[in-house]
Amino acid sequence: MKKIVATLATGIILASPLNAYAFDYEVIKGDTLWGIANEYDTTVDSLYELNNLDSDLIYPKQKLAIYKKYLVEKGDTLYGISKQHDVTVEELKAWNELTSDLILVGQELIIEQAEENNEEKAVAAAKSIQPTEVKSSTANKDENQQPEGKTLSVVATAYTAECEGCTGITYTGINLNEDRNAKVIAVDPNVIPLGSKVYVEGYGYAIAGDIGGAIKGNRIDIHLPTTEEALNWGVKEVKVTIVE
């Protein structure tokens, strides 16, 4: 059973006023940061920031702060709260479905990040691009033809949808369980933007649709149908061309 409890802010959000607190979620077997963020309408980046995480690794019975809330006190205004938390009044109203600036003492307000960062915007765009689109758009291209675009040298490892601790759902929502032949790579979004169509030497055309705790800088992780194929791939230095 999934558990979520409210706790007063201590070490998690020391910089916030005392009447700000976090909702804690107790991790169960099979959970992923992406799945938790999706279920509670937040972002993986927000979970990283609130919980001081440095990787995607989570474990059963671990408690994660889901999002910050603010308890309205006497004299509070939306404008004042927005300035305290570096957000806008319009965002506070949208997040809390407010139709006016009126707030009441004791009312709970959700506090979120000021705006989507570039990675979150890219995730939204990438969700609309499925690997099948990459296949169809490149089906008539010669795999040996040199693609046009920015080319990088990267270290490439491989993974499968059935790896230990994996759900088969990528960071951008691609279901690899439903298509084991999907051409998807995990990237560092600061190097290769999420949602990009790429050409990987020795792998072919793919979509940058996933991330990983160990995938930093010029590293990628390619999706392969089986564990045997992933092991056979090993670790290679290859060229990646960002096509779109």
At 145-197, the pLDDT tens digits run 567 788 999 999 988 887 766 788 888 888 888 888 889 999 998 899 988 89
Architecture field, domain 118-242? Beta Barrel (2.40)
pLDDT at residue 165, as a whole number: 66
pLDDT at residue 205, as a whole number: 93
- Nearest CA-CA partner of 205 in 182, 227, 226: 182
pLDDT at residue 112, as a whole number: 64
- Residue predicted with more confidence, 142 or 62: 62
- Does residue 95 come out as left (phi exceeding 0), alpha (psi in the -120 to 50 range) or beta? alpha
Domain with CATH 2.40.40.10 in the chain: 118-242
pLDDT at residue 48, as a whole number: 81
Q: What is the 3-state secondary structure (H, E, C) of the chain?
A: CCEEEEEECCCCCCCCCCCEEEEEEECCCCCCHHHHHHHCCCCHHHHHHHHCCCCCCCCCCCEEEEEEEEECCCCCCHHHHHHHCCCCHHHHHHHCCCCCCCCCCCCEEEECCCCCCHHHHHHHHHHCCCHHHHHHHHCCCCCCCCCCCEEEEEEEEEECCCCCCCCCECCCCCECCCCCCCCEEECCCCCCCCCCEEEECCCEEEEEEECCCCCCCCEEEEECCCHHHHHHHCCEEEEEEECC
At 48-89, the pLDDT tens digits run 877 888 777 888 888 887 767 788 889 989 999 888 877 888
Mean pLDDT is lowest, of 129-138, 181-190, 193-202, for 129-138
pLDDT at residue 220, as a whole number: 93
Whether pTM exceeds 0.75:
no
3-111 falls under which CATH superfamily?
LysM domain (3.10.350.10)
At 93-119, the pLDDT tens digits run 887 888 988 999 888 887 764 334 445
Q: Is the pLDDT of residue 212 over 90?
A: no
- Residue predicted with more confidence, 21 or 104: 104
pLDDT at residue 146, as a whole number: 64
Amino acid at 82: S
Domain with CATH 3.10.350.10 in the chain: 3-111
Tokens of 203: 């792998």
Mean pLDDT is lowest, of 4-18, 53-67, 114-128, 225-239, for 4-18
- Residue predicted with more confidence, 9 or 234: 234
Mean pLDDT is lowest, of 15-24, 166-175, 222-231, for 15-24
pLDDT at residue 33, as a whole number: 83
Residue 199 banded pLDDT, cuts 50, 70, 90: very high
pLDDT at residue 32, as a whole number: 86
